[in-house]
Chain A
Amino acid sequence: MPTLPTTVDVTSDSYRANRAALEAAVALVDEQLALARAGGGERYVARHRERGKLPARERIELLLDRDTAFLELCPLAGWGSQFAVGASSITGIGVVEGIECFISANDPTVRGGAMNPFTFKKGARGSDIALANRLPTINLVESGGADLPSQAELFIPGGRAFRDLTRQSAATLPTVALVFGNSTAGGAYVPGMSDYIVMIEERSKVFLGGPPLVKMATGEESNDEELGGASMHARVSGLADALAVDEPDAIRLGRQIVSRLNWRKRGAGPSQPADPPVHDPDELLGIASADPKVPFDPREVLARVVDGSRFDEFKPLYGASLVTGWGSIHGYPVGILANHRGVLFSQEAHKATQFIQLANQIDVPLIFLQNTTGYMVGKEYEQAGIIKHGAQMINAVSNSSVPHLTVNIGASYGAGNYGMCGRAYDPRFLFAWPNARSAVMGPAQLAGVLSIVGRQSAAAKGVPFDEEADVAMREMVEAQIEAESLPLFLTARLYDDGIIDPRDTRTVLGMCLSVIDNQPITGTRGYGVFRM
């Protein structure tokens, strides 16, 4: 296989400018990650520790096999909202007893671990990931329940959390709940719907209604322990399967349960050498353009992501604005589609459609590296059938049944977002680089379109066009669209699974491919591959 060359000049002005901009963008994200990690802040974390409790992240660290990786998902959910960044929970994929598990933990230092609408979305995304990739789930439970002021957005859709747990169980994906503290009212159904439940002596509290509510409902006098104590559930109700003496003991018991799940990955496993790229991934910071309007060669990215920088390009001379080809990441064979010069023409659409079909024929996952401004517009292209050709590509992406992984490495605008497997096209995982943008179109274009439409409307009505107001409107709209296309804005709304440092791309994709490998891959069948 040919090894990708590089023409990156680390001493060039453009490299330095890109690197400076990307470092700043990474730092901005790191700052928010640090904020999310701080949970409820020093005071609440200290109080939590004083009670002899471990912070949620330390619970996860103790649960994981030592020195294995943990891929945190949607860590900045709720950024910029009225709720704390991170959405009072931590979710991710980690290795427990040699098994890749979906792990979710309430952060009780953030408003008692109360669940808000972002917490719910993050949990729902986790359920989707566990189901799609066939992962066991471990919930580290300690939550005061729903954030009551936002119940309107939460209560009705929130029921899905419990439904998902039992659907996972029905799909033979075991669910384990380690209950560290309160898990009451609706929250009681998180352990309630789980296959295995561990509670901690004098710590776990699981009941539908607490003493005051019981008193109001039936007049009965009761206390916490009688209603939902760990010891009661272990000895009387049978809701708890195991009774732990403390938090480390609960985690030990949780690991013991996972070790007995008789788990086997059902994928074909890695089949290629997993040697690192020959070019330095650190240089990705200077390769990604600081200016979204400047395209960059995705081969320079692939040269720092795929095994041994080996890449077999498919149709290099045809539809050159989209790079397609075969390689492997951490030993897993992949097909890659990567935008080169932004615009998708008919040739690019044809090439993509054919390539996606080829990957389905041989059951190989696809990786989409987005850096697109969309499908080409204009008389010539419309008349040549760009809609039909774009539709073919979107059709292929939509009905492809091999796993897709998407990374927005620069831009994802317009229908290009759809053709290049945006969030709505259910890639197994979707990540963004901190420099990436995504919106229906660029801010200036969108403002300009609005301006033209306004001018036409004024002319049709025969009223004078307010030029001053138009300038103000364009500035305002441009600013709004720019803000709404930024990665923090998008990741806050769970339009991706996280913003990643470009240098971690290979590692993150490698972990995702390993996670995907829990499930066998079967491509879409039915027709032979259409030569486009």
Chain B
Amino acid sequence: MTPPIPHIVTPIRTLLIANRGEIARRIMRSAHAMGIICVAVYSDADADSPHVAEADLAVRLVGFSPADTYLRIDLILDAASRCSADAVHPGYGFLSESGPAARAVNGAGLVWVGPSADAIDAMGSKVGSKELMRTAGVPTLPSITVIGDVVPTGEEVDSLGWPLLVKASAGGGGRGMRIVPGPEDLAEALSGARREARSAFGDDTVFLERYVKDPRHIEVQVLADRYGDTVALFERECSIQRRHQKIIEEAPSPVVTAELRARLTEAALSASRAVGYENAGTVEFVLDEHGDPYFLEMNTRLQVEHPVTEAITGLDLVRLQLLIASGAALPPEVHAAVDAGPVGHAIEARLYAEDPASGWLPSTGTLHSFEIPIGGPQSGVRIESGVELGSVVSPHYDPMLAKVIVHAPTRDEATSTLAATLDGSRIHGVATNRDLLVRTLRHAGFRRGDTDTGFIDRVGLGNLAEPLADRAATERHALAAALGAQAQRRSQARVQPHIPTGFRNSPSALQVSTFDSHHGVVAVGYRFDRFDRSGQRLDQVEIDGTPVDVRVVSAEPGMVALTVENITRRYRLERVGRTTYVDGSDGSSVLVEHERFPIPGSQVAPGSSLAPMPGGVVRVAVAVGDEVEPGQLLVVLEAMKMEHAIHASAAGTVSEVDVSVGDQVETGQVLVVMMVTMVMEDSES
């Protein structure tokens, strides 16, 4: 029997958190509870962020882009040294899976809260890690590496199972990747993939792998101390994804049986041990249509969705990370949690500042409201957010606003509570995926557990992204917005403050408010009857010229209650300039009121192409005088690490180019103006 390794524990006194947003706050919360001094770092865009305000010390990183700030290990180490930090927690993203960063931190004599640099490197290589796992007996999808012009054939290929996926060995992000339906398509797919791989990565090595259509994404949380004690804290299912980005995660998975859980645990432990893993990590698997798991990759860091595991185990994973990093062995409660098994069910939804309906475009702006109803102490609702009321959501970083996690005895209860919590949220100033999350959580398929990665495509983005407020609800919202604004104007009246609103001794036209909404233009006309002791009565209401039977229960600037068709609903209102945000039990609307007196000439010139989102101009493809065809590229914007091409909507001649490469533009800014040519019918046909 080998003698036990002596446990040398060096408590962390000052922790630098090399991250931002909700995860920085999350780490700080646990660290503060452990009596650790927290050092934040922040880019110029984040100077007013909550994670800065909540830190004991905060160090500015000059610049905006991640490359200039949060990804600069030299600046991070300098900040750590100046603040006498003895450990660095990388959070997730940024430097969290960088072997060199971990090495640099250790080299500077500091503790890296995470696995060893070697483990990070070992798991960082797509092909290498798979080989490693295969050797360690972890199930992986069968694959063949193809070097040069060879087209592999016969049994070798057939044994992989059709269809196949051909992938660039060096690549990522889907470039050089294609699906091969059958043997007859293989040669062409290989040559195409190789060509793309060569041009993108300078390496035309590709590999063939069995293609699993719409798999489930299952992952296992592991924890390991440096003394060889490794545990698996059950699985999470993260199959609801948009563009390979998880948006809803839960634990346990509705399809994982005890038998499968045992297989997953075994595989995860083998994977971790194969690389001598220490600290918290996640082994990701795809689950094919037969329910068989295959190793996908290992994330050598804390995951965004770690709170669902915390919920079902009762553990604080950040605390455990810090303990492990300080040299402690896994404490007994970890083993107790493993023995107890998953408790209840937890679901997390990621609330993003993005517009699902317009291609998930990130949305930026100031949060005029940010309220997520957390409920009472027994509600099981947990909110992790990096923003608060008044925060500015900038285009520089990930647009996640918050994670909302619900823990309940059953999956159904957790799902219902999460949907209701999101539905009751008031988030104003940016577009969000809130309604899509609510529709997903309330979808019968989701409730049944039919949650593979094809869910959103199968149900249809159009259906899921449809706002919760239908046209009729939006009309009620417009009426509430009009009456609330009316109440505000009356409350601010400089003269005749108590005279009944809109009084006429010979009543003619109605008071009119016209709004742009998701459902198009809504015109509201209203007139109040003379006051009587029962309060204000509406004499007449019209929506788009049609009389509506409405009773006003109350109309105040921030709250309007209406009875329509004998149903009374209360609406909360917030006005910011011409925009009114309306939240009710029948959904939310963002209503932009038409100017009563538009200033002539302030409208956008016809033929103008506008920036669809804020970003930097990376390419201007046309010049003044150019003849352009419909669909021709005009300008390319870069935002959120993605390129957005702006194309001509009609044929014409470019009369104005208002931007140049390097400019930062705001949403709605004019980029290019064209004289649109009338398209004539072909007279010879």
State the A residues within 8 Å of B (CB).
Answer: 33, 36-37, 57-58, 61-62, 65-72, 75, 95, 98-100, 245-246, 248-249, 251-252, 255, 265, 274, 276, 280-282, 330-331, 498, 500-501, 503-504, 507-508, 510-511, 514
Contact = CB atoms under 8 A, between A and B. Distances in A.
B506 A36 contact: yes
Contacts of B506: 33, 36-37, 72, 75
Nearest to A70: B504
A249 B599 CA distance: 8
B496 A510 contact: yes
Contact of B532 (A248, A265, A282, A508): A282
A282 B506 CA distance: 18
A500 B530 CA distance: 13
Given A280-B532, A330-B498, A501-B530, 12 more contacts: A37-B506, A66-B489, A66-B511, A72-B504, A75-B506, A95-B496, A274-B498, A330-B496, A500-B505, A504-B503, A507-B503, A511-B496
Nearest to B483: A67
Nearest to A54: B509
Contacts of A331: 498
B498 A75 contact: no
Contact of A249 (B501, B504, B597): B597
Interface in B477-507: 486, 489-490, 493-506
B546 interface: no
A74 to B, nearest CB: 11
Given A36-B506, A67-B489, A67-B511, A280 B496 contact: no
Contact of A70 (B503, B531, B532, B599): B503
Nearest to B601: A245
A265 B505 contact: no
Contacts of B598: 248
A98 B495 contact: yes
B530 A504 contact: yes
Contacts of B489: 65-67
B290 interface: no
B597 to A, nearest CB: 4
B458 interface: no
A289 B190 CA distance: 100
12 contacts: A65-B493, A66-B489, A66-B502, A67-B490, A68-B502, A69-B496, A71-B503, A252-B597, A274-B497, A330-B496, A498-B505, A511-B503
A95 B490 CA distance: 12
Given A70-B504, A249-B597, A281 B532 contact: yes
B533 interface: yes
Chain B residues touching A, range: 20 to 34
Identify whether the interface residues of B are mostly helix, strand, loop, or mixed. loop
B495 A507 contact: no
B495 A248 contact: no
B685 interface: no
B495 A265 contact: yes
B496 A514 contact: yes
B596 interface: yes
A503 B600 contact: no
B508 interface: yes
Contacts of A265: 495
Closest 10 CB pairs of A and B: A98-B494, A69-B503, A252-B597, A274-B498, A57-B508, A33-B506, A69-B499, A245-B600, A61-B509, A72-B506
Given A95-B495, A274-B498, A66 B596 contact: yes
Contacts of B597: 248-249, 251-252, 255
Given A67-B489, A67-B490, A68-B496, A280 B503 contact: no
Contacts of A68: 493, 496, 499, 502
Contacts of B509: 57-58, 61
A67 B531 contact: no
A281 B497 CA distance: 19
Contacts of B530: 281, 501, 503-504, 507
Given A75-B506, A500-B505, A511 B499 contact: yes
Given A249-B600, A276-B533, A507-B530, A72 B496 contact: no
A255 B597 CA distance: 10
B552 to A, nearest CB: 14
Interface of B: 486, 489-490, 493-506, 508-509, 511, 530-533, 596-600
B486 A67 contact: yes
Nearest to A36: B506
Question: Which residue of A33, A68, A252, A280 has the most chain B CB atoms within 10 A of its CB atom?
Answer: A68
Contacts of B503: 69-71, 504, 507, 511
B51 to A, nearest CB: 43
Nearest to A248: B597
Nearest to A100: B495
A100 B495 CA distance: 8
Contacts of A330: 496, 498-499
B197 to A, nearest CB: 60
A280 B535 CA distance: 11
A37 B502 CA distance: 17
A71 B531 CA distance: 16
Contact of A514 (B495, B501, B532): B495
A36 B504 CA distance: 14
B502 A507 contact: no
Contacts of A501: 505, 530
A276 B534 CA distance: 12
Nearest to A269: B495
Contacts of A252: 597, 599
Count chain A CB atoms within 10 A of each CB in B486, B502, B504, B600 and give the residue with the most.
B504
Contacts of A98: 493-495
Nearest to A57: B508
Contact of A510 (B498, B501, B511, B533): B498
B505 A71 contact: yes
Nearest to B600: A245
A252 B532 CA distance: 34
Contact of B531 (A95, A245, A249, A276): A276
A265 to B, nearest CB: 7
B479 to A, nearest CB: 14
B533 A69 contact: no
B489 to A, nearest CB: 5
A234 to B, nearest CB: 15
Nearest to B508: A57
Contacts of A36: 506
A67 B504 contact: no
A415 B501 CA distance: 39
A295 to B, nearest CB: 26
A72 B496 CA distance: 16
Contacts of A500: 505
Nearest to A73: B505
A511 B530 CA distance: 14
B408 to A, nearest CB: 47
A444 to B, nearest CB: 33
A67 B501 contact: yes
B499 A510 contact: yes
A507 B490 contact: no
B502 A67 contact: yes
Contacts of A504: 503, 505, 530
Which residue, A69, A70, A248, has most C-beta atoms of chain B within 10 A?
A69
Contacts of B532: 280-282
Contact of A66 (B486, B496, B497, B508): B486
Contacts of A245: 600
Contacts of A57: 508-509
Contacts of B504: 69-70, 72
B675 to A, nearest CB: 23
Contacts of A95: 493, 495-496
Contacts of B490: 67
Contacts of B501: 67
Contacts of A274: 497-498
Contacts of A251: 597
